[in-house]
Structure 1
Amino acid sequence: MTFLPKSISRLSLLLVTSFGLMACSSSNVASEAQTAQYKQAFIDKQLAAGYDKKTIDFFLSQGHYNQAVINAITTPWEAKPWDQYYPIFLTQKRLDAGLTFWDEYQDTIEKAAEQYQVEPEIIVAIIGIETFYGKIMGNYSVVDALYTLGFYYPPRADFFRSEFANLQDLTQEEHLDIKSLKGSYAGAMGYGQFIPSSYRHYAVDFDQDGRRDLLNSPIDAIGSVANYFHQHGWQQGAPVAIQLEQTNNKPDNLNVWAGKKPEYQVLDFIPYLPSSSNSIQNNALNPALLIELEQASGNEYWLGFNNFYVITRYNRSPLYAMAVYQFSQALKDAHTHPDRGTNL
């Protein structure tokens, strides 16, 4: 799971920061001092956690600065408008791969869906969006990525330094070879792209071989993704999102969701709901949020429910959550009705 900048204005700020970091050398004393401060904070935290100084220093020595990581985090795909974002993920090739994966691991997926009360298509969609079913897990060194962001990237240094600490714990707990760990520029790894803290807290040994292996075991990954959603409050059978009528016009007096817990109720959206949504209107007090999708012809507006918010706990971008939801529906339809073909 990757946590990314959310707005163009913030993106601009991060770009300025990254260019400053490119010049972070002996001539830039302030940046060096800040990095030294970050490293001392990390050492102090790990000493308090029970590590000895020699072990901490050795772990720090395993990480190296990587400018490509800074470049990647300051130009995320989630900064694109929706009409340019969704074609990256909602493709026929990914749908076909998802159906193949579902067929291959159907018993495991059904078991995870039942045990954790999460729809199977959501599990399959997440793994497909994240890594194309294990084909694209990332080529960044995880230790270098977290080292770079934790000690050289002030906008998110505290968060990524904490992940760097979790990586030290994780490699010991799961007996991982730190030098061989590859993942995303944000240090996410495995079939489901779990950052170290999520790996430690939500991974499960679903194949019962004595290891929680999200790097090589699709079965562990399936169970772990389902557990992640369960632990974050997924409600099986509940709606995820629905497109509003008068789609090009923003509903009056309602703010577009900005990352916090849903601040509205379904009741606030009733004038904008399609006439076929009686079951949704019958739950008028349920939490709700407003989603804006930028299309070339104008904006679309959607009502998002609690389950949509849960998807954003995996990745905070509403574009990501919408891509997962729409891909899951295409998977469900194609898997349920194979006679219709598998066209996305």
Structure 2
Amino acid sequence: MQLFRSFLTLGLCLSGFSIQASPVDLQKQFIDLMVNKHQFDRSVIESTLAKANKNEAILKSIAKPWEAKPWHQYYPIFLTEKRLTKGLAFWQTHQQTLARAEEETGVPAEIIVAIIGVETFYGTYTGKYSVLDALVTLGFHYPPRAKFFRKELAELFLLAKEENFDITELKGSYAGAMGWGQFISSSYRHYAVDFDGDGVRDLLNNPADAIGSVANYFKKHHWKANTDIAYKAQVSGSQYSELLSKSLKYSHKWAQLEDAGVSITEPNLSKDMSVKLFEFEQPNNKEYWIGLPNFYAITRYNHSPLYAMAVFQFSQQLKQGFDSATLAKVDN
């Protein structure tokens, strides 16, 4: 029987099919990895994983992300008066910290405020799920992205060790993101900063560290200071449709878009600037935008053009509101 299974496995592999390892086997492989590569005590990893639970609600949530909605259903979730009011209050409270983050990184305050507002409504909703449960569930029971989430589970163990976290107490999103800015474990390890100088990189409870870390994230992802993010565009003819793609990579120059019937009312862009044409669905039509390099930087935070556009438009609302409030204070 064992010989038959071996031949069956070989036959399936040669036919282009792969055998999906069972959750038990994947967990054993993960434990070996943590012991051999990261020098963890085997009993510590085993006992920690034994405390984790598969969560069906997490699997249901990841199967229906908000980013699957059309644009006209997506943006009303985030572009609200309530979020704008909360964001302006956050900006006023942390004005000096935001100004320092902008000065040191080149990332505008309104982008930082928009990100924290979209992610957690300024620390109000940082997640109800056990981060350990989320990463175990997705790493061992969600084949489409299991490899990614097992990597994040390894990063979680490393993060907990470095920051002295109780790994079983951490709460976050269904995807294992944590804190005011919803950093996944690898992002926390690589981009979090101690922005208030208290010796702790605390993204869970400290808005100053969250502000500095969001800014640092964008700086490390090549944010270009004092440059625009996106321009609304008009299209004509049919050639422009050939430039639309689901890929977020910028594979076209502005001159190519112009030649394909795309135009903007903004100042002329450099012919050789790398840009991308995006299409957003409205109830009765479609609207088009040109994404510039900073728009791409926002998609590094969340790989969705809907998310990036919501952050961009929210940041513009915040900037207008903050500038108006500042001007009103001067006039008084």
1:273 alignment counterpart: 263
Alignment-derived partner of residue 207 in structure 1: 196
1:260 and 1:246 map into 2 onto residues whose CA distance is: 20
Q: Which of these residues, 13, 23, 30, is aligned with residue 42 of structure 1?
A: 30
What is the CA RMSD across the aligned residues, in angstroms?
1.8
Contact 1:257 1:289 in 2 (8 A): no
Pick from 76, 80, 86: which aligns with 2:75? 86
- Counterpart of 2:159? 170
Structure with more relative contact order (C-alpha pairs < 8 Å, separation 6 or more)? 1
1:25 corresponds to: none
Shift of 1:37: 2.2
Contact 2:230 2:290 (C-alpha < 8 Å) held by counterparts? yes
Instruction: Please state if 1:329 is matched with 2:316.
Output: yes
Contact 1:251–1:272 (8 Å) recurs in 2:
no
- 2:61·2:174 contact (CA, 8 Å) conserved in 1? yes
Partner of 1:128: 117
**Which residue pairs with 2:247 in the alignment?**
259
Amino acid at match of 2:309: M
Moved over 4 A (4+): none
Measure the CA separation in 2 of the matches of 1:176 and 1:51: 15
* TM-score, normalised via structure 1 length: 0.85
Which stretches in structure 2 are left out of the alignment for 5+ residues? 1-18
Query: Which residue number corresponds to residue 10 of structure 2?
Result: none
1: CA distance, partners of 2:288 / 2:216: 30
| Structure label with greater radius of gyration | 2
Q: What secondary structure sits across from 1:205 in the alignment? A: coil
Structure 2 letter corresponding to 1:235: K
TM-score, with structure 2 as normaliser: 0.88
After superposition, residues 89-104 of structure 1 pair within 5 angstroms as 89-104=78-93
Question: Which residues in structure 2 correspond to 1:1-344 (within 5 Å)?
Answer: 34-48=22-36, 49-246=38-235, 252=240, 254-270=242-258, 271-274=261-264, 276-278=265-267, 280-281=268-269, 283-338=270-325
Identical aligned residues as a percent: 50
Structure 2 SS opposite 1:144 = helix
Shift of 1:240: 1.0
Query: Which runs of 5 or more structure 1 residues have no equivalent in the other structure?
Result: 1-29
Cα distance, 1:138–1:250 mapped onto 2, change above 3 Å: farther
Are the counterparts in 1 of residues 275 and 291 from structure 2 also a CA contact under 8 Å?
Answer: yes
CA contact (8 A) 1:242 1:304 kept: yes
Amino acid at match of 2:262: Y
* Whole-angstrom distance in 1 between the partners of 2:127 and 2:247: 26
